[in-house]
A and B are shown apart, each in its own frame.
Chain A
Amino acid sequence: DSGVTQTPKHLITATGQRVTLRCSPRSGDLSVYWYQQSLDQGLQFLIHYYNGEERAKGNILERFSAQQFPDLHSELNLSSLELGDSALYFCASSVSLKGQPQHFGDGTRLSIL
């Protein structure tokens, strides 16, 4: 158990819909990273929050947004879903801004029908 909690574990929805994925970091960790993992793309960095502020963006689509709340949990919002958004979405937390090391949650498997 990494101490990072992600909900839900599985999500099945249809194209055009909107979903929210949730991540609670390990106790004491201020950094939250979001990643997308699909079969042909490996682990792709989406966005990084530190202590409530966005600190870095990766290959995150405009249809996706995220935030980190005062209690440090984070949410990733995916809207206007497309078939290609089907993937495993991981969050990882770290105590530091540098994110070294990172501890991953168990992920949310998103399936778009």
Chain B
Amino acid sequence: GENVEQHPSTLSVQEGDSAVIKCTYSDSASNYFPWYKQELGKRPQLIIDIRSNVGEKKDQRIAVTLNKTAKHFSLHITETQPEDSAVYFCAAPRGASGGSYIPTFGRGTSLIVHP
């Protein structure tokens, strides 16, 4: 089945710096890669996603890049702000019977942005 590794587990940056979180996956058939932000005690929120037919996607200060050959994708946050502090999860799907896809999540990265 799909194996997703996420690094680093903790990332501490100064406000205004950039942050990069990387995930690697094992199933070459995976074709959809979402990123979720989860604040303490709250639900995971989808912040950006990318499909395998593109290499990069941007949304304001957030971008995701995908390297299908190397089987890794990364989340880039520029000009970080204290409110970016949260746990970030990546996910990659694996196919299941009957056309269903099951997301496998990375273990999460705790991002701390110091004012």
Residues of A within 8 A of B (CB): 2, 33, 42-43, 45, 48, 50, 55-56, 58, 90, 97-107
Contacts and interface: CB of A to CB of B under 8 A. Distances in A.
B42 A106 contact: yes
Contacts of B98: 55-56, 97
Contacts of B42: 106
B100 A50 contact: yes
5 closest A-B pairs by beta carbon, nearest first, are A56-B96, A55-B100, A104-B43, A43-B105, A56-B100
Interface residues of B, number: 24
A103 B32 CA distance: 15
Contacts of A2: 43, 45
Contacts of A107: 43
Interface of B: 32, 34, 36, 42-46, 49, 89, 93, 96-108
Contacts of A33: 103
B101 A99 contact: yes
A42 B107 CA distance: 5
A100 B91 CA distance: 11
Given A42-B89, A42-B105, A43-B105, A97 B46 contact: no
A43 B35 CA distance: 13
Contacts of B49: 100-101
B97 A101 contact: no
